[in-house]
Amino acid sequence: MGTGDEVPAALTGLGASVDLLDAEALASGDLSRYHAIFIGVRAYDSREDLRANNKRVLDYASAGGTVVVQYNRGNTWTQYAPFPARFSSTRVTDENGQVQILASDDPVFHYPNEIGDAAWRNWVQERGTYFIVPDDERYADLIQINEPFEYNAGWKKGALVSANVGKGRWIFVGLGLWRQVAAGTDGAFQLLANLASRGKLPGK
């Protein structure tokens, strides 16, 4: 957990078995038993133990795990990403901003749910905030979002970014899934299930 959100409860509601990792678990627990590790909203801002043990999280990914990082604030947290990246205050404030999938073959859009246009309907308040700017070709932008608001108009990347890390995967989510699951947005639950299932793909 970071500063608090309903993602753990949403994952439990989807049928996942969820453990909240405390400082001891991060420092010395067996992380390999998890199919995915979610980093909570602003967790790098608020959890000194996460910052201190971030190498263990990246080692978990390198060994085949899936790490899902929700948004953080502040221009220093990206030092904990696996490859060079920069913090950005980029956001899409229109909850109906058009979403274009840039990596249509990525399993995050197909398993266990097919993510199509319907998944982006009925969002509330905004699409997302505090995106990142990848500075390494090992990252891939999975989507881009069009912001229609005149003072922030244009296509925005950095909202959903993925990288292969060793045998595993590191995924940044600037989308406001934490807000959407609290509001009961169907598409957000579908995408959350796909992110959580990334480490359980058929054939893995």
Instruction: Return the CATH number at 75.
Output: 3.40.50.880
Domain assignment of residue 2, yes or no: no
Domain assignment of residue 1, yes or no: no
Task: List % helix, strand, coil for the chain (3-state, nearest 5).
Answer: 35, 25, 45
Q: Are 58 and 165 in contact (CB under 8 A)?
A: yes
- pLDDT-based confidence at 3, cuts 50/70/90? confident
Quick: pLDDT tens for 111-158: 999 999 999 999 999 999 999 999 999 999 999 999 999 999 999 999
Domain assignment of residue 149, yes or no: yes
Query: Which residue type is seen at 188?
Result: A
Q: Are 168 and 63 in contact (CB under 8 A)?
A: yes
Q: Distance of CA 158 to CAs 26, 90, 135, Å? A: 27, 8, 11
Domain assignment of residue 88, yes or no: yes
Domain extent, residue 29, equals 7-200
Total number of domains constituting the chain: 1
